[in-house]
Amino acid sequence: MGTPAPEPRSGLVQMLLVDPDPDLAALRPLGGFFVLRTTTSTTTATAGRASAPLPTLAETYETVTSDGHRNALTLRVATVARRLRTSEPRVSASIAHQGLAARLWSTALACAALYGRPPDLGAGLLRWDCAAPAPDDLWLTGVRPLSGDSATLADTVLHGHLHPLGEALRARYGVAPGLLWGNAGSALAGAARELDRWARTNGRTDVADRARALTDDLFAHPLLRTTGTRTGTAFRRRSCCLYYRVPGGGVCGDCCFTRPPRSSPAAASG
């Protein structure tokens, strides 16, 4: 976890620093994976269910925790397995990981590009409805502005979330680290691509330029630089998320495979 982030490139696009508003309203036009709801309460109302305390992501990542939060990650993996109709826990664990990684990268990158001063998205501040449908339902308890540089994003998302999440999934489901970091790279590339598309469609070239500069810096990080090959906003990963093992599934657009392999996925998961 102590791998240092690279120094930001000297040519990083100058950011207009704006404190994020309490509702993070600037994220709403971007849609599903980017939107983040905020609350000052530790109890949040969830669709179709009574208000109940939701675990923080920090509690979710713990190997041993209180009875109320012990099964949050297990419940999410089981929820994904049921919806995808897969009986392979390693597959549902990988897909669950990819979904949460996509939400974290989308929110963090968009906040940094739109505000310049993104809110603190620490694992202790984000609450998670692990039984909700995709995209993962996250709530931020309090908006505290941070620096919007790539080193801060790497510290928040890579070290604060994806490292402990990966460790928990490896311990419980035996998912290979190369697969998980491949998921992280794929999720970042996907978030950057969608943010770039929105920014250029809406005449926000400033947002597109900031997002691209931040993404370039993040992919220079030791944990991400070997996860795949980038050409513009396109990305080809060097691992496979195992989605092809889902009934009716196939290979993803950025997969290392061009067609579903017939043999064991072990080679693609490392």
Do the Cβ atoms of 145 and 19 come closer than 8 Å? Answer: yes
Number of domains in the chain: 1
Would 226 be classed as within a structural domain? yes
Max CA separation in the chain (angstroms)? 51
**Per-residue pLDDT tens over the stretch 12-68:** 444 456 777 888 999 999 988 899 989 865 555 554 444 567 889 998 998 654 444
Would 173 be classed as within a structural domain? yes
Structure tokens, 115: 């505000």
Q: What is the pTM of this model?
A: 0.86
Would 34 be classed as within a structural domain? yes
**Per-residue pLDDT tens over the stretch 135-189:** 778 999 989 999 999 999 999 999 999 999 999 999 999 999 999 999 999 999 9
Would 261 be classed as within a structural domain? no
Query: Which range marks the domain in which residue 193 is found?
Result: 25-41+52-234
The H or E element spanning position 99 is helix 89-115
Would 257 be classed as within a structural domain? no
Do the Cβ atoms of 127 and 139 come closer than 8 Å? Answer: yes
Residue 130 φ then ψ, to 5°: -70, -10
**Per-residue pLDDT tens over the stretch 101-122:** 999 999 999 999 999 988 999 9
Would 241 be classed as within a structural domain? no
> What share of the chain has pLDDT > 90, as a percent?
66
Residue 10 has pLDDT above 50, yes or no: no
Residue 22 CA to residue 193 CA, distance in Å, equals 26
Does residue 262 or residue 98 have the better pLDDT? 98
SS3 235: strand
Would 103 be classed as within a structural domain? yes
Task: Map tokens 């994806």 to a residue.
Answer: 162
Taking alpha carbons only, the member of 117, 84, 139, 152 closest to residue 17 is 117
Would 82 be classed as within a structural domain? yes
Question: Rounded to the nearest 5 degrees, what angle is found at the Cα of 127, between the Cα atoms of 129 and 159?
Answer: 115
